[in-house]
Amino acid sequence: MLQRTATKLVSQLAKEFPAVAITGPRQSGKTTLVRELFKAKPYVNLEDLDQYQFAKEDPRGFLGQFKNGAILDEVQRCPDLFNYLQRIIDEDQRNGLYILTGSSQFQLNQHISQSLAGRVGNLSLLPFSIAELKANKQFNQSIDHNLFHGFYPRILTKGSTPRRWLNAYIETYIEKDIRQLMEIKNRDRFLRFISLCAGNVGSLLNLSRIATDCSISVPTAKSWLSVLQASYICFTLQPHSSNFRKRIVKTPKLYFYDVGLACRLLGIQEESQIKTHPLRGSLFENMVVTDLLKTRLNQGIDPSMFFWRDSAGLEIDLILEDGNNLQPIEIKSGETFTASWLNNLNKWCSLAANSSTQPTLCYGGSWTGKRSEVKVLPWHEIVQMNTRP
């Protein structure tokens, strides 16, 4: 097992709360992490039909087996358990009693807020970050390799072929699980919708256009997108509200939690196709933004991540907010540093004045330095941007 940065946070939460809830995409390593960290606890997967039926039909008897708590995997499948968990936790008073995992943040968090509010420490575990791969000596410095393979543990640690594994992932988890959850009957339209979302990666989200291209209504498109977000397939980055006396764009941007999955949905068959792909820059931006998100979540830091764009087209790819401090970050996939890349950062810093802290350029090259007060970082040194300004 490769060491995960979130291990420290999970251990801390288990000392502070009666239960710990870990959400994240399917196959992101949640089960592997908790079974390694809590070896003494019984493990139950509630996707196992026998365990599911036992928990559903006799929740009191099911939980009565575990006098010292347990790991309950995909626990959102049995919502009736949460009321019984509340009673046990309140009576027992021990911390770290139950470890709960789930691949649907909406369902799990909804049940927690209804029955276990204040009793559960929460965190999200995403696929590997660049920092984790470096720490485990598993990092490949090729940009296109990382874009094509993505960061799911199964591909990186078990040698699974990205195309075949991601095809199975789409068929097993996205197509079947999510379609069943939403009772989506038209398979082809749903798959087209997901593929069009991938084509929108790193761009302002235009749900009306996507809905038209899929021959569905805008409310349906919103509903489908919400379940993709709840299932950790994609997420939206909101625009920052600071306007600095400018008219600003209020439409969010769309990203995928795993860039390799986005590549597969775009129909990219081989790593060699990425170099000339028209969305390579957007995919690179997706990788950088998501890696910042992963590392902050692994450290228990509120992401507080935004972008900024005004009506005239001045845009900052990423804003990290810490109180009144705003750190602007530009992301460029090119490998050769170009001074013009600093233009937007310099303009934005003039507008933001004292609100701006260390402007940073993250790019596809290898040189590290400083130009015009802008910190220049190679993409694989992005971990340096994960500390608060």
Q: Which of 278, 293, 322 is the last residue of a domain?
A: 278
Percentage of the chain lying above the pLDDT 90 cut: 78
**Cβ atoms of residues 46 and 74 within 8 Å:** yes
Could you give the number of structural domains in the chain? 3
Residue 296 lies in a domain: no
319 and 344 inside one domain: yes
pLDDT attached to residue 40? 96
CA distance 92 to 90: 6
Residue 290 lies in a domain: no
Question: Please, which pLDDT band fits residue 158 given cuts at 50, 70 and 90?
Answer: confident
Question: Please, which pLDDT band fits residue 244 given cuts at 50, 70 and 90?
Answer: confident
Residue type for position 114? Q
367 and 230 inside one domain: no
Residues 6+ apart with CB under 8 A from 200: 206, 210, 254
Residue 90 lies in a domain: yes
Whole-number mean pLDDT of the chain? 92
134 and 99 inside one domain: no
The token pair that represents 254 in the structure block:
């769309």
What CATH number does the domain containing 59 carry?
3.40.50.300
What CATH number does the domain containing 177 carry?
1.10.10.10
The token pair that represents 278 in the structure block:
């028209």
pLDDT, one tens digit per residue, over 182-195 is 667 778 888 899 99
pLDDT attached to residue 387? 46
Percentage of the chain lying above the pLDDT 70 cut: 97
93 and 136 inside one domain: no
pLDDT attached to residue 45? 96
321 and 357 inside one domain: yes
As a whole number, mean pLDDT of residues 198-225 equals 95
- Letter string b/e over residues 133-160, b meaning 16 or more CB atoms within 10 A of that residue's CB: bebeeebeeebbebbbbbbbbbbbeeeb
As a whole number, mean pLDDT of residues 175-179 equals 72
140 and 270 inside one domain: yes
137 and 210 inside one domain: yes
Residue 148 lies in a domain: yes
Helix (H) or strand (E) holding 234: strand 234-237
Question: Please, which pLDDT band fits residue 385 given cuts at 50, 70 and 90?
Answer: low
CA distance 29 to 20: 16
pLDDT attached to residue 172? 86
pLDDT attached to residue 384? 64
**Cβ atoms of residues 295 and 386 within 8 Å:** yes
As a whole number, mean pLDDT of residues 240-266 equals 92
Question: Please, which pLDDT band fits residue 389 given cuts at 50, 70 and 90?
Answer: very low
pLDDT, one tens digit per residue, over 29-62 is 999 999 999 999 999 999 999 999 999 999 999 9
228 and 312 inside one domain: no
154 and 234 inside one domain: yes
pLDDT attached to residue 114? 82
**Cβ atoms of residues 120 and 21 within 8 Å:** yes
pLDDT attached to residue 388? 45
pLDDT attached to residue 181? 67
pLDDT, one tens digit per residue, over 301-316 is 989 999 999 988 899 9
Has residue 111 got a pLDDT over 80? no
φ, ψ for residue 22, nearest 5 deg:
-120, 120
Domain that holds residue 24: 6-124
95 and 211 inside one domain: no
As a whole number, mean pLDDT of residues 14-43 equals 96
pLDDT attached to residue 186? 79
CA distance 129 to 117: 30
Q: Which of 90, 124, 158 is the last residue of a domain?
A: 124
Question: Please, which pLDDT band fits residue 27 given cuts at 50, 70 and 90?
Answer: very high
Has residue 352 got a pLDDT over 70? yes
DSSP state of 275: T
The alpha carbon of residue 141 and the mean position of all alpha carbons in its chain are separated, in whole angstroms, by 22
Q: Which of 243, 278, 313 is the last residue of a domain?
A: 278
**Cβ atoms of residues 74 and 99 within 8 Å:** no
140 and 247 inside one domain: yes
61 and 156 inside one domain: no
